[in-house]
Structure 1
């Protein structure tokens, strides 16, 4: 491999030493790469494509991952001086680099690169040293310097000359001076501790203006580079006559220090020169030398009479940190003579610059499930001051889930320090504060808004786990019965909720044949008319799912209670089997003429498929017997028992037709009719007919009671009266207790409007509904309690008693009338 690939200048004498130096530099670069920083070296003015280093290999990166991981290089100034070939990972020179333009006269010059690699984000710092080459020749500030020297000056007199400058560095800027051959003048060069050369022209022998009025000299400056470069200045010396003593200073060079930003008029130094001459030849005037730069003239002023140098304008350490001032002290002789000195003004730094903060490579927004240590942003800080005034530390304002991690010098990474929850805090205003070490310290701050991106970590939630819904039966198909609403704490698509029905079987049919759910609004519709007699409670489960990936969801249960309406007329039970016989029935009964008052002829049995008040039946005679005589029969209002109201006599018609009307309590009321044909017969013929009537009506009397003599009826009547009185008393006490208990429950707000009641409350409600002014009393109501509980078989039929009716010896008071 050729040496110019590494940007090095090879010489035939130093090949072995240069190879050793190259090996050492490579080892040093590898060590710096392992420690987090790479350092390369390249000469200035290197051509485009000059090899700098194998940066990908030195950073431990694979060539195949450079492009996928978005490998890129950024320099501090933003210039593309260096570039990386992503195919082979080689760092090469992209454009011309002039060390003097980049770093001026700084002893060290390097280009700082930030190498950024994404997925995951990594930051590497690379410094490329720009080595100086001898590409600048020494230059004098003027092409010609004119000097006036009196002929009276003695040999050995010194006259300052302006030296040359070389913007190169190191040995390339070390200058040597040579004066053209002259018998009158020689060159004196001295270097101070700041490596500044003071060049003076030494008078070797006395001058004779009449012999040689002017001397032309050539001052040549040669640098130490290879090859050497030179610069020259013409020195034209005019020999003057007369005044033989020039003013002189105590020192040829003065050094003073002054703080930057000193106020106008601040004294820098007061110079004092002396002249042994008398009169006007000893009067001195101070002035800046004609070679003083315009920068010095803009910032300093000298009093011609006192020699006091003061500040003019403002001094800025960051702009210029030292000034070299040439001062002349000139007497007023004829011709005047001048003495010279140099004042070196060093400007001291003050903490007058605030730190600067730069935020780059922002990875925003940040997902709320981002792992700890995720890099959010890259932060670099700087301070134009020097020393402690330029030392900067960074911190974050408290109470944010982030922290700063130092990566290199004044470079930091803003990383995630604790977990995020967008539902709690959707974003953070992160304030980075930079503080220098000056006295007093100065602060700077920069803020960045870190938005937290949502992830699907919250399932839709219903306000309740279960809702109770009441719907009247015989509803219109497609009617709206309820709306379910679920809320999702996430955002955007993660919070968009859709609803669906959880399918199951209800009575052998699919739930979706009864109800449907609108996917967006959550409105629940009944697809067909509901029948309370077929389905009392419909349990509907609705699922809510969000649109996240993966989706999350939850379910809610609707208990749909189908409320009864009076849509079923009473049904009469057929005799014997007890099965339904329809809305009208006819029966024939034989009654002995010897029957007394209270004799039970038969019992009309009926049921209603409705529930509650709609199923509460009452009975009444609709048609009176023929003949206009007072009807000797009546029917129990709630029992349906047909009995005699008085003793039968010979005047009663032998055949009587009784029409019993059965009516429920619905609105409007529905009815059914039963026709009973009663035949009055003598006592010997009544027994078989009476026995058949009792069996047909479902009576519970025994065979001996049905055939008993009428003479024992009076003794049984007394027993029945006492029994009825006792039952009424107990029933009244129980009803009163239930009323008091229901009132207490009502006042405490335990039962809400439309809510389903069970247990003792249901019993009280049934008692309130079923009690009437005529003295009837109900102990339970099967269908209403079944609706309320939603489970178990029917409890009991409604037991109706009519204590106002007298009972015969064969009374069937305990017969039941069933409601469904």
Structure 2
């Protein structure tokens, strides 16, 4: 299409006659048309300028289109004023040209007339609408409803007037099926769809859209591609492909962490998506939390596990109900009627969660172990009870109806080897003296484990627990924590702290009563600061010389049980850097050898009395054999090691 270019001349006439200046209109220009993008032949005349002068003038043009970009588009004949077009021009690049026209007097070369010239380049339809993107990529969910905006395409046309007006249209759709149809708004470029999207029918659609202008002589157009990916949703239910014969499964009672059922399903949706992954939901039959129904993430199988033992005697059959559904909700879409130029009539809905499947779980009877009644038997007993004391009779029973309650009883755990059980009657007796002070007794309690074994095939074993709470008796006498101590000689009296040990508990232990038996001989040398308590202070007077001293003490507990015990005190010289101690300086408190012999006899007598006291309270204890914790005094055994200095 060719258009005319209007050449508008704004005429400013300059004349100069001495000092007189005046403006006058000297000529009239008619409209001149130029075709944009004209193909020639060039040059061609588009008009001429004539001036009413009695003298000769020369014409010239300067500015855009002549000596400025775009150079060489127009020219003027300097003698006759003819304007010619020398080459084509693009309006979209140069919508107008600004120039200056001059006419000069040839006699004096002075400017006779100067005109400002504006040349408007008129449009022709030489540009098609262009899309901002050549390819558009979008995605839709399979469950999206018809009428939803898919995307919006946009084009622009740089022409003017009618030439820049255009509309959109949809040229093609691939694949073209009866399920879904895409359409575009001709004015806005918004693309929508009607019908039902189905991933299993078409995973992707390719649409060609066109933008076409409204040119008067020729219409120009361009196209773009829209690629629409369909995301798979749950429009296929999981279908069980391996049915359970008679809808029955069997499981042995008392089994745990075993797989009793594996369900295989087929799902047409995309694997490993929420539309494909199955969920196995227990609706009935798991009131006691015996089962767990999980999904195998690799195969999508349903795995039914027993996680808590079942009991045949309680429930032989379990009516089990479960359902299988996908993680994503199931939806349905079907075209009922295709209405021209509007949305179609559809059956479209999301189905609620469906009901379940019934299954009968048969519990198989196996040999149950005997049960002790009660499973934990607690008794209270005073320690040192005679050997053969009847503690209790354990009773077990078997829940199996088909088995006779005939068991063999045995001891499974008896760390101290204190008890025995009759294999037929379940009677439990002591075979040794039970000692509360034994290291096997914790918090006055001794625990033994017993077995009852039935005659099933294979035999089953039940476990029972015997808890013996031992009551303390006064069967241990108090004794010195240390029988040898060291003290320093000094100019003033000094003190040592003497502590006592008694394995008995209240009220058979401390506080204790302390007595120095040879106090007459110890007068003004040794004394006790206190005679009652759990500890006692031994006072050494300043007059005591270096040497070894044997002090005889009597200790009595709250019940009056007494023991006589020697305390050996070594008095050292501590004036130097290293204390000097010797046992050869004194063997007593300055007595003759006869007193030493008499003292030793008294010590032996005291030891014999203590031994008789311990034996009287615990006749079964073998002295010094370690059978109990009763302290047996041995006056012939010196305590090893060196006690710290006490000042």
**The two structures share one fold, judged by TM-score above 0.5:** no
What's the TM-score once normalised by structure 2's chain length? 0.42
Higher strand share: 2
Which one has more relative contact order, counting CA pairs under 8 Å at least 6 apart?
Answer: 2
What's the TM-score once normalised by structure 1's chain length? 0.34
Higher helix share: 1
